[in-house]
């Protein structure tokens, strides 16, 4: 069994594509019409054939409620691993990212939390072990 796709709900796919590529640095992998929907994925430039992140429109009311509630509670919708949280924090701030939690040491890791402008909080993490 392998993970090839994972999804994150977004309130605007064009805005999400711009943020996830221009700010976070991911690469657009797939972008095509799927009936009345749009299939839109990005990948890490470090693993272009790796796991694809589906930027899925939150058109379903349950998805929208879920997205809004986890954001309100401060829960990240996704967690991306980086080699150096402080360095990535500084790079992302220079690209316009807004952080809700600056780099913080936790048990076994360093984390920071940012707003993706599309309804989600995203955590960046470096494991310290």
What's the CATH code of the domain at 59?
Answer: 3.10.180.10
The answer, yes or no, to whether residue 103 has pLDDT greater than 90, is yes
Confidence of residue 34 (pLDDT cuts 50, 70, 90): confident
How many distinct structural domains can be found in the chain? 1
Residues 40 and 8 sit within 8 Å (Cβ to Cβ): no
CA distance 75 to 72: 8
Q: What percent of the chain has pLDDT over 70?
A: 100
Domain range spanning residue 52? Answer: 5-127
Give whole-number Cα distances, 61 to 64, 65, 103, in Å. Answer: 5, 6, 33
- pLDDT on residue 129: 85
The answer, yes or no, to whether residue 70 has pLDDT greater than 90, is yes
> Which H or E element spans position 57?
strand 52-57
39 CB neighbour count, 10 Å cutoff: 14
Average pLDDT value for residue range 88-111: 97
pTM for the full predicted model:
0.94
């Amino acid at each position: 069994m392998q993970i090839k796709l994972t999804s994150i709900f977004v309130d605007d796919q064009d805005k999400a594509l711009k943020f996830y590529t221009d700010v976070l640095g991911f690469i657009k992998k797939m972008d095509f019409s799927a009936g009345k929907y749009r299939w839109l994925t990005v990948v890490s430039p470090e693993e272009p054939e790796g796991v694809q992140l589906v930027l899925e429109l939150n058109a379903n009311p349950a998805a929208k409620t879920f997205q809004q509630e986890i954001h309100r509670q401060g829960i990240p919708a996704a967690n991306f691993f980086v080699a150096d949280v402080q360095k990535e924090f500084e790079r992302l701030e220079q690209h316009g990212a807004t952080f809700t939690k600056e780099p913080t040491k936790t048990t076994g890791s360093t984390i920071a939390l940012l707003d993706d402008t599309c309804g989600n909080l995203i955590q960046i993490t470096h494991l310290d072990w």
